[in-house]
Amino acid sequence: MLDPLERRAVFHEVNLGYDPPRAIFEASRCLECQEPDCEAGCPVNVPIQKMVRLIAGGRFEEALRAVKQVNSLPAVCGRVCPQETQCEKCCHLGKRFSPVGIGFLERFLADWEMERGRISDELPEPRAGKIAVVGSGPAGLTVAGDLARLGYQVKVFEALHQPGGVLRYGIPEFRLPNHILDFEIDGLRRLGVEIECNVVVGKLVSLSELLDEYDAVFLGTGAGLPTFLKIPGENLTGVYSANEFLTRVNLMSGYRFPEYDTPARAGNRTIVVGAGNVAMDSVRSAMRLGADEAIIVYRRTIKEMTARIEEYEHAVEEGVQFHWLTTPTQVLGDERGWVKAVELERMKLGEPDSSGRARPVPTGETFTMECDAFVVAIGTSPNPLIAASTPQLDTHSWGGLIADEKTGETSMGWVYAAGDIVTGSATVIAAAGAGKQAATAIHERLSGKRQ
């Protein structure tokens, strides 16, 4: 890990990962449990015990092949998955000591391949069946990879000009460098997956038209519609949704202004609302854009925040400030229409709400904090374009598609969906896991194993 004072000023990757001796040592800590509960904690069913055993023996290529049989995105998952609440949480060694660094070991294998040259993939025998995948985020890429390995002809349609979805526009390069994502996507292309960008399904082409050409369609367009606070002043210049802020930084290279004329303004002080991983990405990006002060305001306490502890700790080390039990009530602007300050209200905690967390209760005490940029990172919902243009699709009241939680089947024949478009904002690995289930269901139906 780079020194905090150094990494707070750069956008290149700050977590340096394992070298081979460190990976072998870490893998050798595994207890080789008779019942590997860690594997039950992995949404994409990585054969963790086998992977760890092979790494401990220095058999890196075999370990990587074992992982890639089930996970199309090991370099991504090794970097951004919340292992501490999944596989590593189930590690028996963690009951008395630190758990085995499963996420770092998976990342090590993917990085080892990138450094030494791609291992050859055995191409499958072609199988009858064409599948269209709409969206190239974690769910879509997982479905594409799983079905391509089974021999199906797969084409991915992406609305943006580069593939990757939220992995590219929503996660900063200091956590997930674009060249890492490009390497993973290139691996899918080598399996035969075709990717076409700049295609807005529901606008340029309808779902029905796709079904005329393809045997099945998978919808993995995520949840890219930002949620706002609905307070006065949110229309001022300098107020961003986290989606816009991070897209400007990540996809549009805003941090390289004026080389790229797509700046993301941070100014002297940036305030970010929220305490999830997206809020942490936003506030740490603001610090790297040159903000003297980068501040998180959150209406609950650290106990209720949803961000990974690792991301919170990195933010603290880099100098991010936190104002707990605080919520914005209005955004104040200057005579030019730019944000200049935010009015905030102190909160206290009440009884738990529907989320299971303590409900924030207003106290009536307010104060004002000056700022040059204000970023709202309180969640997202699915873009309504596909649902609005396809009345055959049933949706929840909040806009998400209704789909079987085990198979991904929607109300429209031969149309499947999984990931954030179904659940709302969740983790990368949760979307990938749901994508694997949908890919299995598509295969079983196309091969006649299930009607």
Contact status, residue 4 vs residue 288, Cβ threshold 8 Å: no
Q: Which of 210, 188, 224, 278 is nearest to 400 (CA)?
A: 224
pLDDT score of 251: 85
Query: How does pLDDT run across 68-117, given as a tens digit for each residue?
Result: 999 999 999 999 999 999 999 999 999 899 999 999 999 999 999 999 98
Read off the pLDDT band of 15 (50, 70, 90).
confident
Contact status, residue 193 vs residue 199, Cβ threshold 8 Å: no
Q: What angle do CA 434, 419, 440 make, to 5 degrees?
A: 30
What is d(CA 430, CA 418) in angstroms, rounded to the nearest whole number? 9
More confident of the two residues 299 and 252: 299
Rounded average pLDDT over 9-13: 84
Q: What angle do CA 172, 228, 381 make, to 5 degrees?
A: 70
Rounded average pLDDT over 377-395: 94
Residue 355 backbone phi and psi in degrees, to 5: -80, -10
Domains in the chain (CATH in brackets) are 4-116 (1.10.1060.10), 130-224+381-446 (3.50.50.60), 228-378 (3.50.50.60)
Measured over all CA atoms, what is the biggest interatomic distance in the chain, rounded to whole angstroms? 68
Contact status, residue 216 vs residue 442, Cβ threshold 8 Å: yes
Structure tokens at 347: 């909160």
What is d(CA 175, CA 81) in angstroms, rounded to the nearest whole number? 11
This prediction has a pTM of: 0.93
- pLDDT of residue 254 exceeding 90: no
Contacts of 163 (CB under 8 A, 6+ apart): 136, 141, 156, 185, 195, 197
DSSP per-residue string spanning 238-281: TEEEHHHHHHHHHTS-GGGTTTSS------SEEEEE--SHHHHH
Q: Which of 436, 293, 315 is nearest to 374 (CA)?
A: 293
Contact status, residue 279 vs residue 242, Cβ threshold 8 Å: yes
Residue 95 backbone phi and psi in degrees, to 5: -70, -25
pLDDT score of 257: 73
Read off the pLDDT band of 19 (50, 70, 90).
very high
- pLDDT of residue 170 exceeding 80: yes
Lowest mean pLDDT among 141-155, 255-269, 282-296, 356-370: 255-269
CB atoms within 10 A of CB 47: 18
pLDDT score of 168: 94
Read off the pLDDT band of 20 (50, 70, 90).
very high
pLDDT score of 100: 97
Partnered with residue 50 across adjacent β-strands are none
Task: Please give the share of the chain, as a percent, with pLDDT higher than 90.
Answer: 86
pLDDT score of 194: 98
Read off the pLDDT band of 451 (50, 70, 90).
low
pLDDT score of 228: 96
Q: Which of 252, 283, 307, 290 is nearest to 374 (CA)?
A: 283
Read off the pLDDT band of 448 (50, 70, 90).
confident
Partnered with residue 196 across adjacent β-strands are 157
Rounded average pLDDT over 36-49: 94
Q: What angle do CA 109, 111, 117 make, to 5 degrees?
A: 100
What is d(CA 252, CA 103) in angstroms, rounded to the nearest whole number? 29
Structure tokens at 151: 């021999």
- pLDDT of residue 208 exceeding 70: yes
What is d(CA 213, CA 154) in angstroms, rounded to the nearest whole number? 12
Rounded average pLDDT over 284-305: 96
CB atoms within 10 A of CB 198: 11
Sequence length of the chain is 451
Rounded average pLDDT over 326-341: 97
Contact status, residue 17 vs residue 110, Cβ threshold 8 Å: no
